[in-house]
Structure 1
């Protein structure tokens, strides 16, 4: 006999799953890319629709807290910003944003408490050192190559040594805006919402490890200074970004009494990248 749902009103349940695998479960994985300006070999994610790219290189030493990164994206008549996250989520982990001040690239570490625009600039025992040979900007495109020292660890959202036992890959995030940065000459510039897009991708950390890392890292210049008002990075929130991994927002458009709730059987099947809500 078919189950009797006569006591249940029409219910609309919307699940917004921001999976560490990316929007709508898209499989976005890095591939090998050699930067023509520096010769640095990176594991690179590239979005064909957005034009956004992010590459990463790691040393071969098992224990490391630094990486070489390259951020590339189009500009809208000189305006816009691009950023990366050390998890597939933008809330909690260490973030970096970069943009043009009209003549050069400005970069800034950020940490977001929510998905609103302009997360505050943060400071800590980490720094970014630009690699000038691999950095350029004009009115239409920005390329920023850098050494990120002390940027990796569970407290920041990505521990490459822990990931070595999990298939040697990690979920990272990206965001891109075409809107102007307010006060672009300061690392504390105000960021508009990432209207072009955002999402996640899988970085192959095993293939990102390169024996030439130290040679490439030596190309980096002095660390970028932060604005005087930068806040200390919250390592508790950063660590929680690893634990949470997947967020779920459930919106029910019909009211349900406690009696009706007993008629719903909710089975949660959890995996690393997906959550399913089954209603029988």
Structure 2
């Protein structure tokens, strides 16, 4: 069984997932088609209004607590596994760039928002550019990764899982290019001397 995971810290308790629906993040102003899980975990996608030939998307993931969550995109800390085991870090042409004004912690939850470039793959690794309503899997565990600051850290087996069908027409927005501009790669500091 092929299983890809987007791994980040998250979660607390668990229950049934809901159908994704539009949600606008209050800090960034980005509108996502968002799965809101009763545990507090959420995951959303934003796409350009005309997605023809597009391979990029903006995603947000967040929740409560310090465990981990995964979404079957094949991106994030870029992990992939073909077995029931802690997924290894994957490599490829895809990149992930943080959107700072959509990444924050407050008194109720944390949110991580990012631009995923070259992440929509024609081979179906994530979802195809022509998909209208892909089914994305998710999994979570309230236990934190072994090394919270290491993207390659091992994670415990999921304690819950599910599927959500994302209506990608609800993820499309004419403001995508503006929002994409919020993703600014980190600039190395220092000097040669």
1:27 to 1:146, Cα distance in 2 relative to 1, 3 A: closer
Match of 1:176 among 129, 140, 144: 140
User: Could you say which structure has the higher helix fraction?
Assistant: 1
TM-score with structure 1 setting the length: 0.57
In the alignment, which residue of structure 1 is the partner of 2:97? Answer: 129
Which residue is equivalent to 1:57? 46
Aligned twin of 1:200: 163
User: Segments of 4+ in structure 1 off by > 6 A?
Assistant: none
Taking the aligned partners of 2:55 and 2:103, their CA distance within structure 1 comes to 22
Task: Give the deviation of 1:140 after TM superposition.
Answer: 6.8
Aligned-residue CA RMSD (Å) = 1.9
User: Measured at CA, do residues 139 and 179 of structure 1 come closer, stay the same or move farther in structure 2, by a change above 3 Å?
Assistant: farther
Superposition map of 1:96-135 within 5 A: 96=76, 108-116=77-85, 118-135=86-103
What's the CA shift for 1:119? 0.3
Whole-angstrom distance in 2 between the partners of 1:190 and 1:147: 24
Partner-residue secondary structure (3-state), 1:58: strand
Distance 1:134 1:58 in 2: 16
Structure 1 residues 1-280: aligned runs within 5 Å: 28-48=18-38, 50-61=39-50, 62-75=52-65, 79-86=66-73, 94-96=74-76, 108-116=77-85, 118-137=86-105, 141-155=109-123, 156-161=125-130, 163=131, 168-195=132-159, 197-222=160-185
* Gapped regions of structure 2 (runs ≥ 5): 1-15, 187-193
Count of residue correspondences: 169
Q: Deviations over 1:149-170 (max 9, x none)?
A: 0111132131132x1xxxx211
Note the alpha carbon deviations across 1:98-131, whole angstroms, 9 max, x for none.
xxxxxxxxxx110021233x10001100011011
What CA deviation, in whole Å up to 9, does each residue of 1:63-120 have, x standing for no partner?
A: 2111000001111xxx31122113xxxxxxx143xxxxxxxxxxx110021233x100
Alpha-carbon distance in structure 2 between the residues aligned to 1:183 and 1:72: 19
